[in-house]
Structure 1
């Protein structure tokens, strides 16, 4: 249950949308640390951790079919038509046991080709379905963080979720692939298509800002169109999207270093190491996303003069002490208990 305060819609207050300048002035006036603290309170009382775990499950259900679809794409392309480049990218994403599987997919026999087409088709459809449910989960979490109690009607909700899955989440996944497997992609193109050393160096530099732009724009679009309310302009939401992206980058980098350096992680989970790393990464991704959304919501709440992120705790009398025996000062609202008489 969410107990966050409803954020008033700023687009109902004036004809012009809020701009990045308004967000910057609001941020400077109220202070970054104060805003971060209240954003975390809004995240916590909006049940952000639970929504992050639910989103993590949906992301895992989407990532695995897309990897299967990439494996099917390897077979359809073949070695001569770019399949080796895709194969090297898949190997970078799923190292270890995937190397032998990728080699088998590059064989040019009829059975492998048929299996690859089935994997590509089913992987894409299954991944898009799981991604649509993930977008619906983002709407639910966003609504609770903004204090909106009900989601859109089912048909409108899932049509919008499918649109966001294609228009926002796929670019975000592309940014993730560029960030994580961009170096392997560039090295493979250089190795198989005589991509020069200069071009490879330029690609390794450009892929970082390219990934940043893709992810920030996609996250800002999610912030704009996922909640069931009239949101401010994208320029206003870029502050929350930037925070979510920065947190996601930091969490992903720290997790990657921990998985590579720590021997205990691999020894503990054995063959499930890759899956456990994926689960942890997806959970951290959800937390970063909803924390950035909470920051954007609290920034807008401060702009309209509603600084409290959550409702105060309700007063509950002790079971062993009746209301008439408790002093009035214990009541947070300052009201006196109602006196009742027995006729």
Structure 2
């Protein structure tokens, strides 16, 4: 249950959006360290950890069928070389001792014929889209609680918007993740399958980073702009929170990859479930990074509206905000 102050909707300036300069000026005026501390308090008491875990579960449920659907689509189209690229990429980025299991799951469709591949594509895409839609609907709930909004949109509007975000921000996020997280093995697989020359490989290695970062920034900005149930300021004002989200996400993803790769006994502990555990950890960190970015954007807007304290008042210190206390005349008041 959220116990944070509601962030008032910012009055829009004549250009219909607050500028990035306004956001940077507000951040410098109030101090970035103070702003980050307030954002963490807002994230914590807005139940950000719980909503991040719920988002992570749905995100993980969307990832595996999406990978299998990609390989099935390649097989259905008769693009065996591309199916091989998908298989090689998944095997390389999958940690632990289950490389053969993942490779069989991805490559199996090519041996069963085009009809089976079409079924795999249809089921995989439908499952992935439904899970991703549910994940973005959960992200709306988490963002609403962090902003202090008590109710989500009505169910139909909520899930229709989540479906639209899946088709836009979700696709941009998938492209960004492919370019940054799996860009190197994906490029190597393309080289093996299509015999790229060194110049093309060099261009790929250089271009995938800015393109991937741009795709992630676009995805996160779309989520910040359209997920919460409130009138948000313009995209340039939200750029600070979106940039911090992408930066934090890249750092924690890199640290997780380093931990999984070098931690003694990680693969031995989980065995065939190593990739599943790594996926769940990564999805949870992704949800935390997104919701912390929401908290930072919310706190920046709150301090601009002269509401620096993110918590609802609790005068008797019983853990229940005064506005929610069923005994407002308790002796401690």
In structure 2, distance between residues paired with 1:70 and 1:15:
42
Aligned counterparts of 1:136 and 1:219: Cα–Cα separation in 2? 15
**Shift in Å, 1:316:** 5.8
Unpaired runs of at least 5, structure 2: 319-327
Q: 2: distance between equivalents of 1:172 and 1:100?
A: 26
**Partner of residue 303, structure 1:** 304
State the TM-score, normalizing by the size of structure 2: 0.90
Quick check: 1:40–1:291 contact (8 Å CA) kept in 2?
A: yes
Is residue 91–residue 102 contact of structure 1 (8 Å, CA) maintained in 2? no
Residue in 2 that maps onto 1:234: 235
Deviation per CA, 1:248-286, whole angstroms, max 9, x where unpaired? 101110111111111311111111101000010010000
Runs of 4+ in structure 1 displaced over 6 angstroms? 323-326
- Does residue 178 of structure 1 match 2:179? yes
2: CA distance, partners of 1:14 / 1:144: 29
1:71–1:90 contact (8 Å) kept in structure 2: no
Cα distance between partner residues in 2 of 1:324 and 1:235 = 46
Q: Secondary structure at the match of 1:305?
A: coil
CA contact (8 A) 2:134 2:162 kept: yes
Q: Is the 8 A contact 1:11 1:230 kept in 2?
A: no
| 1:77 CA displacement | 3.9
CA separation of 1:316 and 1:103: change in aligned 2, threshold 3 A: closer
Q: 1:41-120 alignment to 2 at 5 Å?
A: 41-78=41-78, 80=80, 82-94=82-94, 96-97=99-100, 98-107=102-111, 111-120=112-121
Deviation at 1:80, TM superposition (A): 4.9
Structure 1 stretches of 5 or more lacking a match?
318-322, 332-343
Distance 1:117 1:12, change over 3 A: same
Contact 2:16 2:234 in 1 (8 A): no
Deviation of 1:310 after TM superposition, in Å, equals 1.1
Aligned residue pairs total 320
In structure 2, the residue corresponding to 1:49 is in which secondary structure?
A: helix
Which has more radius of gyration? Answer: 1
Q: Considering only aligned residues, what root-mean-square deviation do their CA atoms show, in Å? A: 2.1
In structure 2, the partner of 1:339 is none
Change (3 A) 1:51 1:223: same
Looking at both structures, which has the greater relative contact order when contacts are Cα pairs under 8 Å and sequence separation is at least 6?
A: 2
